[in-house]
Chains A and B, each alone.
Chain A
């Protein structure tokens, strides 16, 4: 009798166990983000007489950010193909492109934050802006960590090559990066598009 998860030829491969464990972590990370989303949705109208989303958001900036993150997700996919094929050049070039696009995204987001704070609309202005900075800033923090992780993977492949354990780390990194893009889809829809909608 064969059942799911039980095999005659021994337990699952290390790669599958590691990937599955990281998938569970990512889902718990998404659950944490859902709490931030819920807080934002509850506090969206609590502007304390200050500006609301319609007065603050520049949708053109957000569209460029979205394009950068989507293309960097694609480049990350190319990097994982390069890693699976053990092609050093494809992997490093694709990772460099991923990093560049992610860095542009982060720069645009930090520019937006700096502009808001400079106008006096920082996180202390209203409950709405506190929730906005917490949610979008938490995503930006994840992108920052992802960029550091990306550089670490480039260095590890450069120094150690495509070893089994390095391959597993590349798999986890690509899952992390793609999951960040999924969360960004929620951010640009719930925060920016619904916030700026008439």
Chain B
């Protein structure tokens, strides 16, 4: 794109800033209020769900984890202002790498330790071996 008439490339935006850019103070406060309402709703649902029997009991952990990830997304978008806009590419790429490392550490630890637990003989059979 060499023509000067085309849209100039957007400036990068720092994470956390830019909430008050569009729509003035009222728009910015509204953005935070929407985030607060969504986050509070998801938190309340997480706390109340185990008491109700709306979700099949063995599926409860998955439901709770899904709501936690959704709430983290709400916080990222409405409080930290991480968006998918072209001015946010660097922030999103850094976040994606962070999520990858977090996933590798958590899933890898659980996988390896479960495997070790499975392979280790039980305490009683170790005791009998020593005799």
Contacts and interface: CB of A to CB of B under 8 A. Distances in A.
Q: By CB atoms of chain B within 10 A, which of A37, A38, A59 has the most?
A: A38
Interface stretch (A73-81, A97-105, A132-140, A158-166): A73-81
Contact of B14 (A15, A63, A70, A74): A15
A197 B12 contact: no
B23 to A, nearest CB: 12
A196 B20 CA distance: 40
Contact of A19 (B16, B33, B61, B76): B16
Contacts of B35: 74, 77
Contacts of A41: 106, 109-110
Interface string A1-25: 1111101000011011011101110
Interface in A17-71: 18-20, 22-24, 27-28, 30-31, 34-35, 37-39, 41-42, 59, 62-63, 66-67, 70-71
A51 B93 CA distance: 42
A149 interface: no
Q: By CB atoms of chain A within 10 A, which of B8, B16, B72 has the most?
A: B16
Nearest to A12: B12
A181 B71 CA distance: 10
Secondary structure of the A contact surface, majority rule: helix
A122 to B, nearest CB: 24
Nearest to A77: B32
A78 B12 contact: no
Contact-residue bracket for chain A: 35 or more
B57 interface: yes
A70 B78 CA distance: 12
Nearest to B20: A84
A155 interface: no
B3 to A, nearest CB: 11
B80 A178 contact: yes
B89 A30 contact: no
B17 A77 contact: no
A27 B14 contact: no
Contact of A27 (B25, B60, B75, B95): B95
29 contacts: A3-B9, A4-B86, A16-B12, A19-B15, A19-B17, A22-B15, A23-B14, A23-B91, A27-B97, A34-B102, A37-B106, A39-B109, A70-B39, A81-B19, A81-B28, A85-B20, A178-B16, A179-B80, A181-B75, A181-B79, A185-B72, A186-B68, A186-B72, A189-B67, A189-B68, A193-B47, A193-B50, A194-B65, A198-B57
Interface of A: 1-5, 7, 12-13, 15-16, 18-20, 22-24, 27-28, 30-31, 34-35, 37-39, 41-42, 59, 62-63, 66-67, 70-71, 73-74, 77-78, 80-81, 84-85, 171, 174-175, 178-179, 181-182, 185-186, 188-190, 193-194, 196-198
